[in-house]
């Protein structure tokens, strides 16, 4: 598929301020509650478990639905913060490494 036809993505670095049990399921639950199933499918929200380094993690979101994703985190039982959003996963990983020091 041509790069111009692919859906553009953003990588949101999330920081979990409270207890971190099954973060991926909690993100899915709160986004489905706020956006609904159709909105969640359009937002293409995906937690990347291979990039989870407590308390930081990376979530991939459609570039048009980043604001709605951030708003949906307010409905979570955990306390989430989104300190950084970028278009490249390498920059997101670099941000996490710089914050862990």
Q: Output the CA torsion sign for 85, 86, 87, 92.
A: negative
What would the pLDDT profile of 6-38 be if each residue is shown by its tens digit? 999 999 999 998 766 789 999 999 999 999 999
Superfamily of the domain at 9-100: Ribonuclease P, Pop5 subunit (3.30.70.3250)
Q: Does pLDDT of 47 surpass 80?
A: yes
pTM flag (> 0.85): yes
Flag whether pLDDT at 100 surpasses 90: no
- For the record, the structure tokens of 14 come out as 């999330």
Q: Residue for token digits 């937690």?
A: 47
Q: Is the pLDDT of residue 101 over 80?
A: no
Q: Where are the domains of the chain?
A: 9-100
**Nearest CA among 23, 10, 31 for reference residue 79:** 23
DSSP secondary structure string for all residues of 55-90: TEEEEEEETTSHHHHHHHGGG-SS-EEEEEEES-HH
């Amino acid at each position: 598929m041509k790069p111009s036809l692919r859906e553009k993505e953003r990588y949101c670095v999330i920081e979990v301020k409270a207890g971190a049990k099954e973060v991926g399921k909690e993100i899915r639950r709160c986004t489905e509650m706020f956006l609904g199933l159709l909105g969640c499918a359009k937002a293409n929200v995906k937690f990347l478990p291979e990039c989870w380094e407590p308390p930081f993690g990376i979530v991939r979101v459609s570039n048009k639905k980043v604001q709605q994703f951030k708003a949906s985190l307010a409905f979570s039982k955990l306390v989430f913060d989104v300190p950084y959003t970028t278009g490249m996963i390498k920059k997101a990983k670099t941000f996490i490494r710089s914050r862990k020091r």
